[in-house]
Amino acid sequence: MRPNSDKANGKPVRLTPVAYDDLRHLFQAFQQNLPEGKAVILADGDVDGLGAACVVWDALGDHPKSFLTPAKGRNAFGDETAALVAAENPTSLFVLDLGISPRIIAPGVPTLLLDHHHPRGAPEGATVLSGYGLDPVPTSSLLAWRVAGTAENDWKAAIGNAGDMGPPDEILDHARAGGTKRAFDMAKSLLNSAKRSSDPARAVPAAFRVFQTANSPKEVLEATGGDAETLVHVQNEVKRELSEARKAAPKFSKTEPLALIRFSSPARVHPLIAQQWRGRLPKYAVIAANDGYDKGRTAFSLRTNSGLDLLEILARHGQALGINEPEYGHGHHAATGGSLPTETFERLLGSMGFG
């Protein structure tokens, strides 16, 4: 379900809280009509995507299922992810916290998309549960819990909601208060390290397995075995890489209120760098660019507190340069980014006023 458009001004209509009931009915109808065979849950690897995946996993009960996440530096709607999904031979597909696009990931496979980012259109025939347009906009974890959650996994949705700086929610906030704040925050940080690592293909499934089988944040922290060891390893890696990336100094555009922090790291620390610098440069949109994350490409994150529309900035420069890349300009008006071939990224910087 997508927000309707206000014909007077073209802006998304703010849906009332009762819309959650409509979305719940859509989820239940999709679930009740699942064909025999395997359901694939394709989710983002950050803690919001993992929280949503845990909720949906539980909702499917004994139905055969598997968990996937896109390859490093890729989104849900490219050829690589389509091949990854096809290899699982799914009979149904859940796409969580990865955006909403008209691109069909698995032709002929019943698909449900659940997300809170700015939608780019919907694939024909898919069931779409979009939180974009609700006031406040929920995270994917919060949305998933509202349509399919239980009292047993409310704390998992709470971790996902907090990890993506989601809005207050009376029930999830109560679940968050049910354990110690220290354990909650430490579990959130540990799980988030998986996608930020240099090897998310290994770390994100490990994080999901630890999260999905735990009964509390404390159990996430006290988990043992190979998956738990993987999470500790990648958390230490991310801390080291973040420390190095913090040494980079900003450069400023000659034509727009844009600041560039550029570095090279195999870990996905560019969103954290952009997040940290936006508070220090409140009048600018901050671009954190990482040349070491994906060979031959530059991964970048934009963040701002200035009120600038980052999606508009990327769309304007992208149109001027003829950029047509699937890993470009997804997300929110104040938090977006992408990945481009480094040569194309250099052209983008030139267009943005960086000499």
Instruction: Measure CA 96 to chain center.
Output: 8
Q: Where are the domains of the chain?
A: 1-161, 179-245, 251-352
Tell me which residue has tokens 């109808």: 29
Length of the chain: 355
Q: Tell me whether domains 1-161 and 251-352 share a fold.
A: no
What are the tens digits of pLDDT across the range 71-124?
998 899 999 999 999 999 999 999 999 999 999 999 999 999 999 988 888 899
Question: In terms of Cα–Cα distance, which of 218, 38, 292, 15 is closest to 129?
Answer: 15
What are the tens digits of pLDDT across the range 265-289?
999 999 999 999 999 999 999 999 9
On whether the CB atoms of residues 158 and 167 are closer than 8 A, the answer is: no
Q: What is the pLDDT, as a whole number, of residue 118? A: 85
| pLDDT beyond 80 at 2 | no
Q: How many whole angstroms separate alpha carbon 50 and alpha carbon 215?
A: 15
List, as one string, the DSSP characters of 266-308: SS--HHHHHHHHHHH-TTSEEEEEESSSSTTEEEEEEEESS--
Beta strands in 35-132 (DSSP E): 39-43, 65-68, 92-96, 111-115, 127-130
On whether the CB atoms of residues 194 and 200 are closer than 8 A, the answer is: yes
Q: What is the pLDDT, as a whole number, of residue 6? A: 36
CATH placement of domain 251-352: 3.10.310.40
Identify the DSSP state of 96. E
Q: How many whole angstroms separate alpha carbon 306 and alpha carbon 5?
A: 26
CATH architecture of 1-161: Alpha-Beta Complex (3.90)
pTM, 2 dp: 0.89
What are the tens digits of pLDDT across the range 322-344?
998 888 988 888 999 999 999 99
291-317 average pLDDT score: 96
